[in-house]
Amino acid sequence: MKSFLLAALALSLFACQSKEEILHEQYVIEGRIQYENNCANCHQSNGQGLRNLYPAISKSTLSAPELARLIKQGRKSATGYMPANPKLQAIDIAEIITFMRHEWGKNEQTFSFDSTRIVLKGIN
Amino acid sequence: MPHKLIYLVSFALLVFSCTQDKKLPYLGKHETRVVDGKTDTVYHQIPPFKFLNQDSVWVSEKDMAGKIYIADFFFTSCPTICPKMKTQLVRLYERYADNDQIRILSHTIDPAFDRPYVLKKYANRLQVQAPRWNMVTGDKQAIYTLGEKSYMVTAQEDKNEVGGFVHSGAFILVDKQRHIRGIYDGTKEDEVNHLIEDLEILLKTN
């Protein structure tokens, strides 16, 4: 009886969310983990960076495709060096970008796996 | 009323034992020497050294005389643990901004790349300055030997490792006589909180 109630409750909860919303939530959750593992050591968990060594990214104006390429390829410039992330796959990067939008962009749009794959085509 | 007295005494003892200072250990090999029939313990001590800092100024053990310092090993292009260590060191640097008894001494393990001008750029971006935070470079073997033999941390070149080097993320707490009093994981905030607790003890007793 108890487990039946629980199942019904879970079902009703799920029913309130569309498929897209569930997918978006998964992207955000996974993206947060990926961000913690691959980015937070420099840019910090709150995206504020570390003084002038690692820039704050919470207010970055890069577009999603630019961001995807930056994450994959890194960047070396006169102002700093961000290493490439050859090990991150399109799905990981899609999740990171979706997480960053959610966390700092007030933007709840999923940046999809397919968009990321297209942007990263030809880049290894 | 003798039992009241006993209560009082034991209470006093209790209070006393609770407030007694925690003592920090001396890490590393101890030697005992007999001088004039008295045994003396000689603690492990950081030997003299001489390196160039971010301002191309020589830094030696003489600059650390009378200072408590935190030593670490890093390299400026390190993508993995150094950013975490530097985040924590910046926290220490800020916390002790007004305390002239405390220094930070960061040794590069990639001296071929990390010339003084590279360290200077790095320090400028972190907005930190010598002498409170010296970032030093010099003879590679001298740095590695000092790291492994004296500070008791790992520092090695390793082509298989991201960035090309393996090193521990340790912070080494060194007292005013250059004895090691604690080693902490500099990549973890709560470990660095322990370092701060121990540093406060040292400030009172050293």
Q: Is A84 on the interface with B (CB under 8 A)?
A: no
Q: Do the Cβ atoms of B171 and B180 come closer than 8 Å? A: no
The 10s digit of each residue's pLDDT in A77-113 is 988 899 999 999 999 999 999 999 999 999 999 999 9
Of B83, B126, B127, the CB nearest to A41: B83
Domain boundaries B40-205, corresponding CATH code = 3.40.30.10
Angstrom CA distances, B53 to B113, B155, B160, stand at: 14, 19, 29
Q: Do A41 and B84 touch (CB under 8 A)?
A: yes
Complex prediction ipTM: 0.79
Please report the domains of chain A, with CATH numbers, ordered by start residue. Answer: 25-119 (1.10.760.10)
- Strand B50-52 versus strand B58-60 pairing type: antiparallel
Rg (C-alpha) for chain B, rounded Å, is 20
Q: pLDDT value at position B155?
A: 75
Q: Which of B86, B120, B187 to mutate to test the interface with A (most CBs of A within 10 A)?
A: B86
Q: Is B60 on the interface with A (CB under 8 A)?
A: no
The 10s digit of each residue's pLDDT in B121-154 is 999 999 999 999 999 999 999 999 999 999 998 8
In this structure, the dihedral spanned by the alpha carbons of residues A54, A56, A60 and A64, taken in order and rounded to 10 degrees, is 60
Q: Is A83 on the interface with B (CB under 8 A)?
A: yes
Tell which residue, B69, B71, B72, B49, has the closest CA to residue B60: B49
- Look up the pTM and report it: 0.85
